[in-house]
Amino acid sequence: MSKRNKANKSVKLHARRGSKPLDAEAQRLFDQAVEATGRRDYVAAERLLLVIEQRIVGNALVSYLLGMVHADTGRLETATGYLEQAVAASPTNPMFQFSLGDAAARLERFQDAAAALRRAIRLDPAFRDAYAALGLVLYKSANYKDARQAFAEALRLDPADARLHMNAAANAIELADESAALKLLTSAERAATGAGAEVLADLAKLYQRLGREEAAERFYREALAADAENPDIWESMARSLAKWQRLDDAIAAFHTAAQLRGSPNDAYRFIAEAAGANGLISESLFYYRKALTVAPHDFDVRSGQLLYHNYLHDFSAEQLFVEHRAIVDCLPVAPVPHFDNPCTQHRKLRIGYVSADFRRHSVAYFIAPVLKNHDRGNVQVYCYFNGDDSDATTAKIRNSIFGWRDIHQLDDAAVIDLIRRDGIDILVDLSGHTEGHRLQVFAQRAAPVQITWLGYPNTTGIPNMDYRLTDAATDPPGLTERFHTEQLLRLPKVFSCYQPDEACTAVTLPPCGQNGHITFGSFNNFNKLNSFVLELWADVLLAVPGSRLLLKDKNFANDVLRTRLLEVFAGKGVDSKRIELVTRDKSKSAHFDRYADMDIALDPYPYCGTTTTCEALWMGVPVVTLAGNDHRSRVGLSQLTAIGLSELVAHDRDEYVAIARRLADNRAQLEVLREGMRERLKASPLMDYPGFTRDLERLYLEAWRDWCEQLPAA
């Protein structure tokens, strides 16, 4: 039964449960409104209900149906107000509580949603939909243990719902309970007999998350047998095939998806994206080049390949700049807009942040403390969220700011219109050329002042991007200005501040004290582990006899990539027994526990770690870095200098090996560093959230004054 039919049925079921009776005329209008909602004629339904509301104030059923009309048309804030009125007038009605919880969940107010859904369950202990909705809310809040209990109760009441089994399986995967997940998926398969293609495709994705390649492909094929014209399923299967190194099959599937969408040129871009996401950098760039030969002015193709160039150790800053500057050829000439933003002194500036990463993502560790510490007397903050996978981090960020806007379903023109109606003075891009960016919004000048920061280690190449935020360590004055289309704005101490994950575990003693050998390590993205850095790390291992190397990345589940990596070490004379490769951990806390197995962290080159460096330091592990001559290779220098450990920064290959060997030889120093590292971080600019945010606001104010001064005199 659809949610709409359930709502209409609930109106009839609960018509007398705590609701004031309607007079004959009001009842007639009300029945017409119910029928109108069934036809999806929401305009007529709302008009009829408002007439009744004028006649009879405070009727629970009228408020409830008004709430449902607004919810069905996406006006969730207003819907919540009406549903709260319904609950206040009829607090014992479980359907009213359920609908209020559902609206709160859609607004990502998960705490309010859970409270309302629990009230619905107390009022009706057999309310299957309330248990199912509560499970989803708890799952999205990362409260997986309580979600398991809610899903179990929903399944007890309705064991034949395939989607319910799948949601419970997804939750079990997060709990690292593989046996429970497989059991639930087996039940989902039985319940999904005769189900539609979408359900079958989602089953495939869950099996893929469990690493069950054969089962995943089987369900993708079954989904396509049910709906062979669905490009989304073809694309999902293609991405899976690419992940499994079956590039020929993936290319064929991507071509089918692209043709079904009426954009056959996209096939090469899709395979390039998939190859890059799975650690195949050379293959990714090969297919991006093929895509550019077909569509040389395609913005998405040109933008997509830029990120992967940053991983190449033999690609100079000059070459990178040439590639980034070429993005201008993919942009139409943007008209010069007129802005009415007042340039009066001493008013609040409206700051807008645009990102797809307001969630449990590396960017969130650096932007969340800024959003929380902005001076609300001086700035009014808006976040424009371009993601569709919100979580508990999303909810926290949302609750810390003034204005929240979901934009992932809006086209560029609609986003620009929204930003201008919000009166944004300074618009800040947090993505650069990474997944989920909205750089074409910036290219068309959505706000008077536009800045890029944080999520990307290079210029955007976008002509209308005015500034790039950085510091003097990552971009020393006179060194990198010529590699940017933006003007560099340097923060006085460090270009970002770090907030540790709540799942961080306790610091332990260096493991060398127990196992007798030094363990170097890196938990950086596999894409950063190019041949140069692997050979450099091989030199470190050869310089420290008996040492080991611990590497972790999800792509190490792939035998092809593991073999490629180990062959590089073998070529340098390093026995593969000295290399430990591990894949994704079962939980975030297990990930942090793994730092107990590492004595010294090694930073990759030229694309340094950022979050991984901060995580290692927070877990007490010193990091050795190699500084180059552009931002991507100087982040480690910036962070280590900020915490007073510049002696761990090397400036050439030999010095990198020497620093690593010196640390390995001084185990007493390793213990001292480990024991005091967290206090060192807390006392540094890297975790001075109020101070960092005040410095940031001063730069924003300077940029705003510069814009105002450039305006022609009135």
Q: Is residue 527 a part of any domain in this protein?
A: yes
| pLDDT(687) > 70 | yes
Residue whose entry in the numeric block shows the structure tokens 């981090």 = 393
Express each pLDDT in 124-171 by its tens digit: 999 999 999 999 999 988 889 999 999 999 999 999 999 999 999 999
| pLDDT(11) > 50 | no
pLDDT at 7: 44
pLDDT at 669: 96
In angstroms, rounded to a whole number, what is the distance separating the alpha carbons of residues 430 and 453?
5
Least confident of 31-40, 224-233, 491-500: 31-40
In angstroms, rounded to a whole number, what is the distance separating the alpha carbons of residues 337 and 423?
13
Express each pLDDT in 603-637 by its tens digit: 999 999 999 999 999 999 999 999 999 999 999 99
pLDDT-based confidence at 27, cuts 50/70/90? confident
| pLDDT(193) > 70 | yes
Q: Is residue 47 a part of any domain in this protein?
A: yes
Q: Which domain holds residue 467?
A: 349-491
Give the phi and the psi of residue 215 in degrees, each rounded to 5: -65, -40
> Do 260 and 394 belong together in one domain?
no
pLDDT-based confidence at 15, cuts 50/70/90? very low
Q: Is residue 263 a part of any domain in this protein?
A: yes
> Do 559 and 651 belong together in one domain?
yes
Express each pLDDT in 377-430 by its tens digit: 999 999 999 998 778 888 889 889 999 999 998 999 999 999 999 999 999 999
In angstroms, rounded to a whole number, what is the distance separating the alpha carbons of residues 434 and 321?
16
> Do 276 and 198 belong together in one domain?
no
| pLDDT(483) > 80 | yes
Q: Is residue 604 a part of any domain in this protein?
A: yes
Helix, strand or coil, per DSSP, at residue 1: coil
| pLDDT(3) > 50 | no
Mean pLDDT of the chain: 90
pLDDT-based confidence at 19, cuts 50/70/90? low
Mean pLDDT of 669-679: 97
Q: Is residue 342 a part of any domain in this protein?
A: no
* Region for residue 423 given its phi and psi (left: phi exceeds 0; alpha: psi -120 to 50; beta: otherwise): left
> Do 544 and 646 belong together in one domain?
yes
> Do 483 and 552 belong together in one domain?
no
In angstroms, rounded to a whole number, what is the distance separating the alpha carbons of residues 295 and 415?
26
pLDDT at 10: 46
Express each pLDDT in 553-597 by its tens digit: 988 887 878 898 999 999 999 999 999 999 888 788 999 999 999
> Do 159 and 37 belong together in one domain?
yes
pLDDT-based confidence at 101, cuts 50/70/90? very high
Express each pLDDT in 199-243 by its tens digit: 999 999 999 888 888 999 999 999 999 999 999 999 899 988 887
pLDDT at 20: 64
Express each pLDDT in 150-160 by its tens digit: 999 999 999 99
Last-in-domain residue among 208, 227, 250: 208
Is pLDDT larger for residue 240 or for residue 684? Answer: 684
> Do 261 and 200 belong together in one domain?
no
* Region for residue 217 given its phi and psi (left: phi exceeds 0; alpha: psi -120 to 50; beta: otherwise): alpha
Q: Is residue 232 a part of any domain in this protein?
A: no
Least confident of 40-44, 282-286, 314-318, 661-665: 40-44
**What's CA 581's distance to the chain center, in Å?**
25
The pTM of this model reads 0.77
| pLDDT(49) > 80 | no
> Do 26 and 77 belong together in one domain?
yes
| pLDDT(4) > 60 | no
**Would you say how long the chain is, in residues?**
714
Q: What element of type H or E holds 405?
A: strand 403-406
Q: Is residue 339 a part of any domain in this protein?
A: no
Express each pLDDT in 74-83 by its tens digit: 788 888 988 9
Give the tokens for residue 683: 């006392």
| pLDDT(6) > 80 | no
pLDDT-based confidence at 713, cuts 50/70/90? low
The number of distinct structural domains making up the chain is: 4
> Do 525 and 471 belong together in one domain?
no
Give the phi and the psi of residue 656 in degrees, each rounded to 5: -60, -50
> Do 539 and 633 belong together in one domain?
yes
Give the tokens for residue 357: 């990463």
- For residue 465, give the amino acid letter: M
Strands (E), 446-577: 449-452, 467-471, 487-491, 519-522, 548-552
In angstroms, rounded to a whole number, what is the distance separating the alpha carbons of residues 47 and 70?
12
Q: Is residue 392 a part of any domain in this protein?
A: yes
For the chain, give the percent of residues with pLDDT over 90. Answer: 67
User: Is cis: bond before 606, omega within 30 of 0?
Assistant: yes
pLDDT at 428: 98
Give the tokens for residue 685: 């600019």
Is pLDDT larger for residue 434 or for residue 283? Answer: 434
> Do 486 and 359 belong together in one domain?
yes
CATH (domain of 313): 1.25.40.10
Q: For the chain, how big is the Rg over CA atoms in Å?
A: 28
> Do 581 and 681 belong together in one domain?
yes
Last-in-domain residue among 162, 193, 208: 208
CATH (domain of 526): 3.40.50.2000
Mean pLDDT of 650-668: 97
pLDDT at 57: 67
